[in-house]
Chains A and B, each alone.
Chain A
Amino acid sequence: MKIILPVEKEQENTDICQSLGRTPYFMLYDTNTESSEFFQNPASNSPSGAGIEAAQAIVDSGANTLLTPRCGNNAYSVLKKTGIAVFRTIPGPAISNIHAFLEGDLSELDTIHEGRHHGEN
């Protein structure tokens, strides 16, 4: 499976970014190879629609699971429709969160906050 997280830098022990839509990078961890790749978030400087653009990038990456501290409702509605599971991160670097998830220690993200705009079709 592939797990994706919003991260500050392109390193496995980097901090998780508090904003999903405007995170500078994403980290994509492959459980088969136990290795990570990183890519820039195309939405990090978008004046609008950042959550949606970031969500599309997540969908296109092939990830099945997202670990994030928060998620706006626009991004969430895209992810929900693709069957990507969303879990809440805990304090600590990205790689610790991966391990915590694989041990079953993370819980699903249940509070979605209202984004800049709300409602989609």
Chain B
Amino acid sequence: MKQLLILSGKGGTGKTTLASAIIRLSEAKACADCDVDAPNLHLVMDYKGETERKDYYGLPKAFIDAGLCTHCGSCLEICRFEAVISGKKMHIDPRACEGCGLCERICPVGAIEMHPSVAGELRLLSDPEKGIFSTAQLKMGNGTTGLLVTEVKKQMIKASDNASLAVIDGSPGIGCPVIASITGVDMILIVTEPSLSGISDMDRILDTARRLGSDITVCVNKADTNQKMTEQIRDRCLQMDVPYTGEIPFDPEAVRIVNKGLTLADEKCPAGDAIRSVFENVMNIMNRR
């Protein structure tokens, strides 16, 4: 099964809109939303069928047994994350607790224990016609981890049967979750936008992606909002020997379609046509390998 990952670096470039259209165009029977901080893909995928849910555990967090606590304040003294809240009942703020376990270790009366902490929920949707869709939702206050992204991908691969292509909506940013999205992927499509911040974020992502050895292509969304910058991006890609797979215009029609819960491949519009062309270019490169 070949894997296509869609990344953007910066948020708001249209990554999810593009990913949903590409999933529809390619009829990929396996897909995943790795943007677990703010998963959006499901809003336009309309998968009918069962949802399998599984708790995702992050690092265990500290918990103070009020019955045993003697208010000595040792935990308050050594905690570097301001997670110990003093008062009539000493307790731990699970949002601040990083799970280091030092308070548990030094509590003179053994009143502190590390408890399993559910950081989110893994979800697997199976639609008999469309295939499987793997995602997760983090509980508030928890950051995306490489492990959770890896679990979302593993879940997808395990459930994917005979799918020949998997499309993954990646994590934004440049940190560990992005690296976890990239491992094992055959092709990365970077979606960028023509702005200073878009270009600077594209550079950072390119740097990261190249080190991990996947094939990469770039396309520009909302390209006509600043044609000058779009050309700069195209030139940059040429310089860096990165295939440039196309440009998508800003399209108010697109917003209307997406707001109906559809993808841009479901109804005709200028942006949808441009995405189709980007998709075909990306597939050509993928199939040549």
Contact = CB atoms under 8 A, between A and B. Distances in A.
Given A114-B179, A117-B176, A47 B147 contact: yes
Contacts of B145: 47-48
Given A47-B58, A47-B59, A113 B147 contact: no
Nearest to A18: B184
Chain A interface size range:
10 to 19
B108 interface: no
B212 interface: yes
A116 B211 contact: no
B233 to A, nearest CB: 25
B99 to A, nearest CB: 9
B213 A116 contact: no
B180 interface: yes
A46 B211 contact: no
Interface in B23-72: 58-59
B150 interface: yes
Contact of B146 (A18, A48, A113, A114): A48
Interface string A4-37: 0000000000000010001000000000000000
A116 B59 contact: no
A48 B58 CA distance: 10
Interface of B: 58-59, 145-148, 150, 176, 179-180, 184, 211-213
Interface of A: 18, 22, 45-48, 50, 113-117
5 contacts: A46-B147, A47-B145, A47-B147, A50-B147, A117-B176
